[in-house]
Structure 1
Amino acid sequence: MSEAEARARRNVTDAPTDLIVARLADELRRTYGITRTELYQVDYRLAELLPLGGGEALTGPGHPAWYAFDHQEPVFADGTGWFPVGMRGERRGVLRVSPVPADPAARRELDTVATVLGHEVAAVTSTTDIYLSARRSRRLTLAAEMQWELLPGRSRIRPSFSLAGQLEPAYAVRGDSFDWSDDGHRLWLAVLNGFGEGVAAALLTSLATYALRNARRAGLALADQAALADQAVYAQHRGEQHLSVLLMELDLATGALVAVDAGSPHLIRLRASEVTSQALEKQFPLGMFEGTDYREQRFDLERGDRLFVVSDGVIDATANRVRYGESALDRFLRRTSPMEPLDAVRSLIGDLRAFVAGDLVDDAVVVCLDWLGPQDQ
C-alpha cells in the first residue's frame, strides 16, 4: 500500500460521519490533483444514481456510472473516473472523480479507496440519516421504511454463493420481505410474503422475521425455526393474521438444500438454461393455527444452479387479463443466465414493470441465489 493510499484510507475512516466524502475529497485533491469528488448512491428502486450532495440523478443505462455499477469495475471517460462503491457484494453506488489520474497505479489506489468508502458508509449508516435520506428520490411510506430497515442488505457475495433480492413497489412495499445469514459453512434464507396492508403488514412481517432470527441464532433446525415463528405470530394475532414464508438452509460444501414451505412464495430452479418449478410440500402459513408442526424437505443442488424465489405479486401481476407468471416469467428467467444475481433481480423487476406498464400495485419480492460449488472461504 502506498503512502498516498494509506492517507486516503485514514481520512475516510477517521472523518466524522457527516464529513466522510468531504474529507476524502480534500485528501484526493492534495494527493492526486483531483478537483471533483462525488458519491452517487443507488436508490431503492435500483433505477437512479443519486448524488449525495443533491443535484441531477443519473438514470440512463448507457452512462459510464451505470456501467461501473453494473459491472463492478472502474470506468474512465472524458477525464472522469467512475469507481464502484460497495462492500462484500452489497452495491451502494459509484464514486466520481475528475480529473482522473493517468497513472494506472493511482487508478488502482482510487479503486481500493472507493471500496473502503463503501465499508465506511455501511458502518455509519445506522448512526446518521444523511446517506439513507440521499438514497431516495421520493418519500418512503412508513411501512416501506420499516421493511427496508429490516433487510440484511440487498446483495451478498462469497466464493461459494452469490445472492440478491429486491422489494417492489420499492417506495411503498408493505408486507413482503427477505432475510439471510451465513457462517461460511451454511447459508440460511427466508423469503416472506406478508398479509394485510400498510403498517399492519409491516409489523406482522417484522414479528415473523425477528422470531425466525431468534430461532436461527439459537441453533434450532429449520422446521423448529418455522414452528417458533408460527407460535410467536399466533400468540400475537390468534389466527386473525398470518403470513407465508419459504425457509431454506444450504450446505455450502455439498449443495444439500433443506426447505420448509409454509404457504410460501414460489421456488424456481434455473439449471443449464432449463427452468423448473421446484415442487414443495405446501404447509400452513405462520400464525394460521396454534401449534403447527412443520416438515423439512431435502434437495441436492448442482454446481452452477440458480434459484429464484418470487412472491405472488410477481406470478399474479396482470396486464390485459394475462398473468405474468403464465406468459413471460419462464422466458425471462432463461435470459438471466449470464447475469449476476443483482442484475438478474433488477432486470426481472424491470421486465415486470414493463409488463404492467408502470409501478406494481401489489407487493412483490424477488430473490436470486447462485450456488457456485464448494470453495475456499
Structure 2
Amino acid sequence: MDERTQMADRMTEIRRSLLEAPADGLVERLAAEAQRVYGCSALRLFQVDYRLAALLPLDGGAARTRPGDPAWRCFDHQHLVDSDGVTYLPVTVRGERIGVLAVTGVDPARVTGAELLEVATMLAHELAAVRAGTDRYALAARSRRLTLAAEMQWELLPGRSRERASFGLAGQLEPAYAVRGDTFDWSDDGHRVWLSVINGMGDNVAAASLTALATYALRNARRAGLSLADQAALADQAIYSYHQGAQYLGTLLLELDLTAGTVTAIDAGSPQLLRLAGDEVVLEELEEQFPLGMFEGSIYRPQRFQLEPGERLYVVSDGVFDAAAEAGRYGAGALDRFVRRSGSLAPLQAVRSLLADLRAFVESDLVDDAVVVCLEWHGARPDAAGR
C-alpha cells in the first residue's frame, strides 16, 4: 500500500471518529486519535476571543496573547508553525478563523505537515457543525461575560471572515463584549457578494432588537431574489410599520459582482465607505438617502462604481470616525494611515490591526458602538475546492 493510500485511510479513520464524537468532546476525541495514529503526546485547541485580542485554550490555562508568539503567527499568517517541539496549525473553515491547534510530539517520520493541516481543517468543519448544539466552544472563546445585547448581536452574525478565490471579507464589532446596535451581514453565491452594515440606534437590548429586525428583513428580501433597492425598501417598510418613524437605522448596502468587479451601493444614511487602491485611500462619495424606517414608503436609488482587482473597500461606522475625531484634529488623517498600513494584510488581520491602531491612537478601548468591515476583490477567479 503506497503512502497516499495510507494517508487517505488514516484521514478516513479520523473523520469517522470525529463524526461519532459527542458535540462537546471533539477535541478530546481528536487528541486520542492523534496519539493513536501519529504518536502525538498532547493536542490543545486555542480559540480566538470575541475581541480578536487573545487565543484562549479550550481546556483552561494561560493564553498566548503576545505579538510574535508561535500561535499568533500561525493564526495571522494561516500556515503551520513549528516551535520548541510544538506544531501550530490554523483551525479555519471557509475563511472563518476559529483558532489554532497545538500538537506536541509530532514525529515527522509518521506524519507530514500537509496531513496535519488537513486534520486541523477537518476539526474546523466539525466545530462549525456542532456550535449550535453546545455552548462549550462559545463559552471558552470569551475572556469575560457578554452583555445581553452583545449576545444577541454576535449570534446574528453570519461569521467574522470569509475567503473565496475571488474575494476576501472580514468584520469586527466593538466594544466586542458590550456592543449594542451596530452590526454587519453578508452572503455570497459564487457570482455575487451581498454586504450590509448597520449603524445602530438606541441602547442595549432595544438597539439590538431594532438591528435584528432590520437584518432579518434584509435577509428575507435578499432570499426572495429582490434587487438591492427593493431589499432596502422592504426593510424600510418593516421597520416603519413597527416603529412609525420613532426609530430608524443608518445602513449601507453593497452588492459586488465577482466577475466584473462592479459594486452596486445604497447609502441609507449609512456608515462611511473607504476605498484602498494601492496606497491611496479615497472616501467613496455616495448619495445619502433616508435611513431605513425613518419615513413611510421611501424609494431607494442604487449607485454603481467599479473596483479593480486587488482594491479594497473598508466600511467604517460612526463609532470609529467619532473616536478618531475626539482624539485630536488629525483623527481623519490617522484613520487613513491605519487603512493604508493594513493594505498588505489579510482582511481579518487588517480589521484587527486597524482597530488596534485606533485604540492606541485614542489611548483607550472604544466605548461607543463601532464596526469595521473589509472587502477585497481579487478579480474574477474560479474557485478551488472549498476548505
TM superposition score normalised by structure 2? 0.95
1:6 aligned to 8, 12, 15, which one? 12
Q: Is the 8 A contact 2:174 2:369 kept in 1?
A: yes
Report the equivalent of 1:173: 179
Report the equivalent of 2:115: 109
Report the equivalent of 1:317: 323
1:302 counterpart = 2:308: yes
1:271 aligned to 258, 277, 281, which one? 277
Report the equivalent of 1:47: 53
Q: Identify unmatched segments of 5+ residues in structure 2.
A: 1-6
1:293 counterpart = 2:293: no
Report the equivalent of 1:346: 352
How far apart are residue 203 of structure 1 and its match?
0.3
| Aligned counterparts of 1:338 and 1:312: Cα–Cα separation in 2 | 25
| Aligned counterparts of 1:11 and 1:40: Cα–Cα separation in 2 | 21
How far apart are residue 13 of structure 1 and its match?
2.2
Q: After superposition, give the CA deviation of every residue in 1:234-278 in whole Å (9 maximum; x if it has no partner).
A: 111111111110001111000111000000000010111111100
| Aligned counterparts of 1:198 and 1:324: Cα–Cα separation in 2 | 31
| Aligned counterparts of 1:165 and 1:171: Cα–Cα separation in 2 | 15
| Aligned counterparts of 1:25 and 1:298: Cα–Cα separation in 2 | 51
1:93 counterpart = 2:99: yes
Report the equivalent of 2:44: 38
Letter of the 2:249 partner, please give it: L
Report the equivalent of 1:56: 62
1:23 counterpart = 2:34: no
How far apart are residue 197 of structure 1 and its match?
0.5
How far apart are residue 32 of structure 1 and its match?
1.1
Letter of the 2:127 partner, please give it: V
| Alpha carbons of structure 1 residues 323 and 43: separation in structure 2 relative to 1, 3 Å | farther
For the aligned residue pairs, the C-alpha RMSD in angstroms reads: 1.3
1:72 counterpart = 2:82: no
| Aligned counterparts of 1:118 and 1:161: Cα–Cα separation in 2 | 21
| Aligned counterparts of 2:256 and 2:113: Cα–Cα separation in 1 | 38
| Aligned counterparts of 2:164 and 2:123: Cα–Cα separation in 1 | 20
| Aligned counterparts of 1:278 and 1:71: Cα–Cα separation in 2 | 30
SS at match of 1:317: helix
SS at match of 1:2: helix
| Alpha carbons of structure 1 residues 128 and 324: separation in structure 2 relative to 1, 3 Å | farther
Letter of the 1:52 partner, please give it: L
| Aligned counterparts of 1:77 and 1:104: Cα–Cα separation in 2 | 18
Report the equivalent of 2:4: none
How far apart are residue 323 of structure 1 and its match?
5.7
| Aligned counterparts of 1:49 and 1:272: Cα–Cα separation in 2 | 32
Instruction: Please identify runs of 4+ aligned residues in structure 1 that moved more than 6 A.
Output: none
How far apart are residue 105 of structure 1 and its match?
4.4
| Alpha carbons of structure 1 residues 97 and 209: separation in structure 2 relative to 1, 3 Å | same
**1:187-198 → structure 2 map (5 Å cutoff):** 187-198=193-204
Report the equivalent of 2:259: 253
Q: Identify unmatched segments of 5+ residues in structure 1.
A: none
| Aligned counterparts of 1:105 and 1:31: Cα–Cα separation in 2 | 9
TM superposition score normalised by structure 1? 0.98
Q: After superposition, give the CA deviation of every residue in 1:69-128 in whole Å (9 maximum; x if it has no partner).
A: 001001001111110001000000000111122238432211100001011001100111
Q: Is the 8 A contact 2:325 2:332 kept in 1?
A: no
SS at match of 1:304: coil
1:125 counterpart = 2:131: yes
How far apart are residue 324 of structure 1 and its match?
6.8
SS at match of 2:286: coil
Report the equivalent of 1:367: 373
1:233 aligned to 207, 228, 239, which one? 239
| Aligned counterparts of 1:303 and 1:253: Cα–Cα separation in 2 | 10
SS at match of 1:302: coil
1:81 counterpart = 2:87: yes
SS at match of 2:125: helix
| Aligned counterparts of 1:244 and 1:22: Cα–Cα separation in 2 | 45
Give the aligned length: 377
How far apart are residue 332 of structure 1 and its match?
1.4
| Aligned counterparts of 1:157 and 1:332: Cα–Cα separation in 2 | 22
Percent identity for Structure 1 against Structure 2: 64
Q: Is the 8 A contact 1:252 1:373 kept in 2?
A: yes
| Alpha carbons of structure 1 residues 282 and 104: separation in structure 2 relative to 1, 3 Å | farther
2:268 aligned to 239, 247, 262, which one? 262
SS at match of 2:336: helix
| Aligned counterparts of 2:141 and 2:327: Cα–Cα separation in 1 | 35
| Aligned counterparts of 1:49 and 1:319: Cα–Cα separation in 2 | 31
SS at match of 1:94: strand
How far apart are residue 369 of structure 1 and its match?
0.5
SS at match of 1:224: helix
Report the equivalent of 1:199: 205
SS at match of 1:34: coil
Q: Is the 8 A contact 1:317 1:324 kept in 2?
A: no
